[in-house]
């Protein structure tokens, strides 16, 4: 088969970057002994250059284990990109996923492709001179946003209240806090304190990080309804679609999940069971923007809300292109990695006029690089 070639990829540079966190972060998975506190995040950056002088940058990530595996897989399949037309993003994604098909079409194998896929979309938007959201077809120039990074379980309730005050003053609109402690009554006390502190008009969400069984999820979720939450996130194991569906039918508060799933097919199970009111996909976890767009179409068809997880530098653009009013998650952890900042005001995160994703890697990001590979002809 022959293809019309308008440009050719001349090089792919992959960088494994370790982002240290200021303090160890704990959610319910730490309190139940399933994980250790998170002290760093491993990022995989892909920088793609073409013969005509165009450039794109993309990234994926792994919290705790997995970063070296993503880097190794990307380095192994990246040579297949050299000489290919960067405009043919869908075809290239398919070729790369088949190059590693023996290790699967989800998890680390496809997450390794995400950075490359995002870089190709960034490059295409830059070639067009458009922000990515505009290239995709934006429905809005700003998106409702909420903050998570100030609401973890390792912090006292007074710290969380102080964090919430600073967050709202910065222009972010909503607050999400973690729940799922061994004593669920403590969860209720913390939620009550935050609701009283921020008032009834501030959007408030909670996240149990998959730590409840079905009876506990129903009991605690019903008790949480008095706090007028926007949603209850990951009340059950991410793969328990039937349990989520049963819970969603029993509540007036929206049920949200999806961030830990690693493919469009896994998300489809949630949609097929009518298990969530709000879907929370993560583009780097499901293989990039190409896969995210497929999933967004399914979500729209199912009439569910959209609130992508983490990676706001990518998800702001994707959320802006979703027909129904979405949310985007504000995390300040990634600030040191980029030279640019996303603007928040009046409860919304705003698109910039910069082409592509609108980001460039900082010198600090390059200083935190632990492995690097440059692939050329």
**CB neighbours (10 Å) of residue 88?**
16
Buried b (16+ CB within 10 A) or exposed e, 152-171: bbebebeebbebbeebbeeb
- Give catalytic status of residue 222 as yes or no: no
Q: Are 280 and 310 in contact (CB under 8 A)?
A: no
Residue 145 · residue 347 · CB < 8 Å: yes
Say if residues 22 and 4 touch (Cβ distance below 8 Å): no
* Alpha-carbon distance values, 127 to 16, 193, 356 (Å): 26, 49, 8
Is the separation of the CB atoms in 298 and 267 below 8 Å?
yes
Quote the DSSP letter at residue 30.
H
CA 319 to mean position of chain CA atoms: 11
SS3 string, 180-231, reads: CCCCHHHHHHHHHHHHHHHCCCCCEEEECCCCCCHHHHHHHHHHHHHHCCCE
Establish whether 139 is a catalytic residue: no
Classified as helix, coil or strand, 120 is helix
Q: To which H or E segment does residue 62 belong?
A: strand 55-63
Q: Which of 54, 161, 176, 178 is catalytic?
A: 178
Q: Which of 309, 315, 317, 330 is catalytic?
A: 309
Catalytic residues: 178, 309
């Amino acid at each position: 088969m022959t293809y019309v070639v308008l440009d050719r990829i001349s090089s792919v540079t992959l960088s494994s970057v370790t982002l240290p966190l200021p303090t160890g972060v704990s959610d319910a998975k730490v309190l139940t002994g399933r994980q250790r506190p998170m002290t760093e995040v491993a990022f995989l950056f892909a920088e793609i250059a073409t013969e005509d002088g165009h450039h794109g940058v993309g990234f994926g990530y792994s919290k705790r284990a997995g970063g070296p595996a993503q880097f190794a897989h990307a380095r192994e399949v990246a040579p297949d990109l050299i000489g290919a037309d960067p405009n043919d993003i869908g075809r290239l994604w398919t070729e790369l996923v088949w190059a590693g098909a023996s290790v699967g079409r989800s998890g680390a194998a496809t997450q390794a492709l995400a950075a490359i896929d995002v870089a190709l979309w960034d490059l295409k938007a830059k070639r067009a001179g458009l922000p990515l959201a505009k290239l995709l077809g934006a429905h809005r120039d700003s998106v409702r946003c909420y903050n998570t990074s100030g609401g973890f379980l390792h912090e006292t309730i007074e710290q969380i209240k102080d964090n919430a005050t600073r967050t709202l003053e910065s222009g972010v609109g909503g607050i999400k806090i973690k729940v799922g402690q061994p004593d669920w009554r403590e969860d209720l006390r913390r939620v009550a304190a935050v609701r009283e502190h921020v008032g009834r008009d501030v959007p408030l969400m909670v996240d149990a990080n998959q730590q409840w069984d079905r009876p506990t999820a129903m009991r605690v979720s019903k008790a949480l309804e008095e706090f007028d939450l926007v949603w209850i996130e990951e009340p059950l194991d991410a793969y328990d679609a039937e349990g989520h569906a049963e819970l969603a039918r029993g509540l007036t508060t929206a049920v949200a999940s999806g961030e830990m799933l690693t493919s469009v097919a896994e998300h489809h199970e949630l949609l097929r069971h009518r298990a969530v009111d709000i879907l929370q996909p993560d583009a780097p976890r499901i293989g990039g923007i190409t896969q995210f767009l497929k999933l967004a179409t399914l979500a729209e068809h199912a009439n569910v809300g959209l609130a992508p997880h983490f990676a706001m530098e990518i998800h702001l653009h994707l959320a802006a292109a979703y027909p129904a009013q979405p949310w985007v998650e504000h995390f300040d952890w990634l600030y040191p990695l980029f030279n640019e900042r996303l603007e928040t005001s009046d409860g919304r995160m705003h698109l910039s006029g910069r082409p592509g994703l609108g980001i460039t890697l900082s010198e600090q990001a390059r200083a935190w690089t632990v492995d690097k590979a440059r692939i050329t002809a």
